[in-house]
Amino acid sequence: MKANNIHFKPFFLAMLALTALLSACEKDNRVEPKSVLTGRVVYEGQPVGLRSNGVQLEIWQRGYQLFTKIPVHVRQDGTFSAALFDGNYKLVRLRGNGPWVDNTDTIEVALSGNTELDVPVQPYFVFQNDTYAKGEGKVSATFNLKQINTTRTLERVNLYVGTTSIVDPNNNAGNAQEVAANIKDLSKPITLTASLSAALAGRDYVYVRVGVKTSGVGEMLFGTPQKVMLK
Amino acid sequence: MQRFSRYFLVFVVLIMSGCAEEWLDRKPQNIILEEQIWNDPKLITGLLANYYDRLPYHTDLNHGSTTDAAIPNKEGWQDFAAYDEAMWSNNDDARNNIVTYAIDRWRLWDYVLVRDINLALENIEKFGTSLSAEQKVQFSAELRFLRAQVYFDLVKRMGGVPLVTKQLIYDYNGDPSYLQQPRAKEEEVYDFIASELDAIKEQLGNGGSNTRANKYTAMALKSRAMLYAGSIAKYNNLMASPISTPGGEVGIPASRANDYYAKSLAASEEIINSGVYQLYKTNPNLGENFYDAITKKSANPEIILAQDFLVSKDKRHGFTYDNIARNVREDNLSSSSITPSLNLVEDYEYLDGTSGELKTRNAGNTDYIYYNNVADVFANKDARLYGTVVYPGTSFRGTPVQIQAGVKVWNGTTSSFQNVESNTLGSTYEDGGLLTGSSGPQRSQTEVTNSGFYLRKYVDQTAMSSTRGIRSDMWWVRYRLGEIYLNAAEAALETGKTANALKYVNMVRERAGFGANSLKTLTIARLQNERRVELAFEDHRVWDLKRWRIAHELWNGNASNPDAVIYALYPYRVVRPGHATHGKYVFDKLVAPRFRAPRFFQMGNYYSSIEQLVIDNNPKIVRNPFH
């Protein structure tokens, strides 16, 4: 009896600990959000080029005590993704945030499983027929600028050159600029030429990207980054 | 049972009758009652001291902010290194590597202090029975000054905020909506500040004090607040897309600009014309005079309001311990945290009125300019440079601060200089001369300058003040006459009174060593630079850039924008035996080696975000733009 007791106690304690551990596991670990909302910010079905780490959308869910926005950052190619629980959400285009006309209409999102969503926007300007060329110690871009919305005016267009595909005003190794005063006629193609520094010119390739700045709008709208082979 | 009831009855009677009066009505020994506080001027003064000490701060001397990444709104003296006046040369690189400023960086929602002041205002009326009417009025005025100062700090960070001027008391009816106040318009908050200050300025008393508010302190706050309101009204509406909300919580109509500028000018001129304050001009050495003007605590006629410290009362701070130049430090750790940037140094003009850019290369940019002494490149500069920055060839507390990056050795075969630098501070080159100075600069070491400069302003010259045992009681200047002159100049310029504007700004410049009437014409850009150099490290820079709406252009996050990047100046001794330049000094300008991310200020930074919890608790609060 006595010997029995000695064996029983550690066993009992071990079982107790195990029970506590197992039950705790169940309680402490919440399910992670499994459904992924992916999407694109589009104009006429085409994704819009943006600055990396610049533009965000916001997602809200009503009916819970803590009502806090879920910020969704849009990538530079205009796509975004967020891992969420299934449910009904409201997606809002933040005012004054992107290079497009403010539109704060709520987009209802019913999420069950992975969902894809296109968020339509109306940019002020878009690029068309953009082509890129290399020269001796320089690169150039030729494109048409189409004005979609006339409530704001053009401020400038830029050509940015970088060593990776992330190219924008904050991440570049060289750029060329043309201000609106020198762009008289939008029906004619515009050419921007950026001269390369010695370090850049010695590389095998560079990435280039065109951007347009609308006056009074913080963010610029960009074309697709292009890899230009120099050699 | 019978007997028990009888004893019980006796006991109850005893409690109810005899003891009740005294036993239950005794005064507590450990709690000060409202009647006691509000009838004792000494206790009220003690309470006021607490409120003065709790005034909101962004960068000051007393609060060191955290490097904890989880805390978004950094505040404290360490953030002197977060803008373009200086970089961080101590351990960690947080402030040299701010990719973007967080939208809640300058967030403030301090309704705890507002409530405490409102409560005090009501209680002094209710309980202050034995105070004289005069005392009551004076203390109330002082409390209202503090409240106006808090509202100014709220509005400059958040835009319009709810104007709560009475205690809000919940009646437990289950519906708190009657306590939920919407945000006032931005202009309404500024108007409230102005009307409060006008109402109390004659009641404040405290004449001659520079640590408690008096009539001129109230006018100093009004001068600054109205200038902010005026420039927001003007410059916000000059933006291609003004920052505003439909309800006016953010944004002031352009039509109000002149009104605000005029009010600011009137408040400034009231201080200037009173003759109570003078620019500090005691020391004939102009550079040291400017340092004294801010740091001298006795017989200083320039200071209007300061937050004072005193070692003997154990009210002190470690600002000098953390920021003193490396080779004059008295403790074995820290030093050299805030090191001024070349950007700031070059904004101090030459006394002949030419641009302050340091002349390090010859006219054709083909060769260095060779200087006999390391300090010669700074000759004939604005004296405020010496008073603000420890630059190569100067001393601190009488000890020379040795600043030399290394030597440049001439290589005859390649016809070029080769840099030799050492990781050992104060080391000697093989020719017997100095290699790297005992105060650096050093490219990668911490606790030694990385930018080539050290901070002088606010670093205490008192012996032992840079030790952890003693620390410093340097005061923190909230308002001084130098700023009031510049406020007056700006308000006068904006309202077309150019002659007055020139008069005021030239007085400030004259103290810095420029001749009388050194400026003949004036632009706002000129005044912006004047404020930058006069008020460096006094918590003005970021707020000024915000109200002029130029922060997003100056700090645009572009690595090729010289305003967004922190530059350093590295002095070298030339080793070229047999040549005329041997033993002379040359200077390299370079991007500070430990500086990583260009300053990036976005449109959403002009007004800080309101915490979601606040909006959840009060649905009438609207969010700021871009958040």
Chosen for mutation from B99, B238, B241 (greatest number of chain A CBs closer than 10 Å) is B241
The CA distance from B110 to A108, in Å, is: 36
What's the half-sphere exposure (Cβ side, CA atoms, 13 Å) at B575? Answer: 17
Taking Cα atoms as reference points, which of B73, B80, B79, B139 lies closest to residue B106? B73
Which pLDDT does position B15 carry in this prediction? 60
What are the Cα distances from residue B240, in Å, to A5, A212, A214, B235?
85, 16, 9, 10
pLDDT in tens, B301-341: 999 999 999 999 999 999 999 999 999 999 998 899 999 99
The CA distance from B79 to B59, in Å, is: 6
Judge: B626–A170 Cβ closer than 8 Å, yes or no. no
Cα of A151 to nearest chain B Cα, Å: 12
pLDDT in tens, B507-555: 999 999 999 999 999 999 999 999 999 999 999 999 999 999 999 999 9
Q: Which residues of B touch A96 (CB under 8 A)?
A: 241, 243, 603, 625-626
Judge: B558–A95 Cβ closer than 8 Å, yes or no. no
Nearest to B626 among A67, A68, A97 (CB): A97
What's the half-sphere exposure (Cβ side, CA atoms, 13 Å) at B314? Answer: 0
pLDDT exceeds cutoff 60 at B19: no
Taking Cα atoms as reference points, which of A148, A158, A48 lies closest to residue A101? A148
Nearest to B612 among A53, A68, A170 (CB): A68
Whether B310 contacts B325, CB under 8 Å: no
Judge: A66–B241 Cβ closer than 8 Å, yes or no. no
Q: For chain A, how are helix, strand and coil distributed in percent, rounded to 5?
A: 15, 45, 40
The CA distance from B259 to B267, in Å, is: 12
Per-residue DSSP letter, B338: E
A64 inside 8 A of chain B by CB:
no
Which pLDDT does position B72 carry in this prediction? 62
Structure tokens at A67: 């009502």
Which pLDDT does position B612 carry in this prediction? 87
Q: Nearest residue on chain B to A64, judged by CA atoms?
A: B616
pLDDT in tens, A157-201: 999 999 999 998 888 888 898 888 888 888 899 999 999 988 888
Per-residue pLDDT of chain A (231 residues; tens, 9 = 90+): 444 555 667 777 788 777 766 665 555 667 888 899 999 999 999 999 999 888 889 898 888 877 788 889 999 999 999 999 998 999 998 888 889 998 888 999 998 889 899 999 999 999 999 999 988 889 999 999 999 999 888 989 999 999 999 998 888 888 898 888 888 888 899 999 999 988 888 899 999 999 999 988 888 999 999 999 988
Which pLDDT does position A6 carry in this prediction? 54
A95 inside 8 A of chain B by CB:
yes
Q: How confident is the model at residue B101 (pLDDT cuts 50, 70, 90)?
A: very high
Q: Nearest residue on chain A to B564, judged by CA atoms?
A: A170
Q: Which residues of B touch A66 (CB under 8 A)?
A: 616
Q: Which residues of B touch A67 (CB under 8 A)?
A: 612, 616
Which pLDDT does position A183 carry in this prediction? 87
Q: Which residue has the higher pLDDT, B26 or B149?
A: B149
Cα of A96 to nearest chain B Cα, Å: 6
pLDDT in tens, B349-392: 999 999 999 999 999 999 999 999 999 999 999 999 999 999 99
Which pLDDT does position B69 carry in this prediction? 60
Helix (H) or strand (E) holding B505: helix B498-511
The CA distance from A19 to B148, in Å, is: 60
Q: Nearest residue on chain B to A98, judged by CA atoms?
A: B626
A94 inside 8 A of chain B by CB:
yes
Taking Cα atoms as reference points, which of A160, A182, A180 lies closest to residue A170? A160
Judge: A216–B626 Cβ closer than 8 Å, yes or no. no
Query: DSSP string spanning A17-84?
Result: HHHHHHHHHHHH-PPPP-EEEEEEEEETTEEPB--TTT-EEEEE--SSSS---EEEEPPTTSEEEEEE
Phi, psi of B158 (to 5 degrees): -110, -10
Q: At what angle do helices B111-127 and B41-53 cross, to 10 degrees?
A: 170
* Global confidence as pTM: 0.87
Q: Nearest residue on chain B to A93, judged by CA atoms?
A: B626
Judge: B616–A66 Cβ closer than 8 Å, yes or no. yes
Q: How confident is the model at residue B621 (pLDDT cuts 50, 70, 90)?
A: very high
The CA distance from A86 to A35, in Å, is: 6
Nearest to A96 among B552, B612, B626 (CB): B626
| Type of residue numbered B297 | K
The CA distance from A216 to B236, in Å, is: 11
Nearest to A170 among B600, B603, B625 (CB): B600
pLDDT in tens, B159-209: 999 999 999 999 999 898 999 999 999 999 999 999 999 999 999 999 989
CB pairs A-B closer than 8 Å: 45
The CA distance from B107 to B472, in Å, is: 29
The CA distance from B216 to B210, in Å, is: 10
Judge: B240–A215 Cβ closer than 8 Å, yes or no. yes
Show the CA angle centred on residue A75, arms to residues A71 and A76, nearest 5°: 140
Per-residue DSSP letter, A112: S
Which pLDDT does position A26 carry in this prediction? 55
Q: Nearest residue on chain B to A53, judged by CA atoms?
A: B100
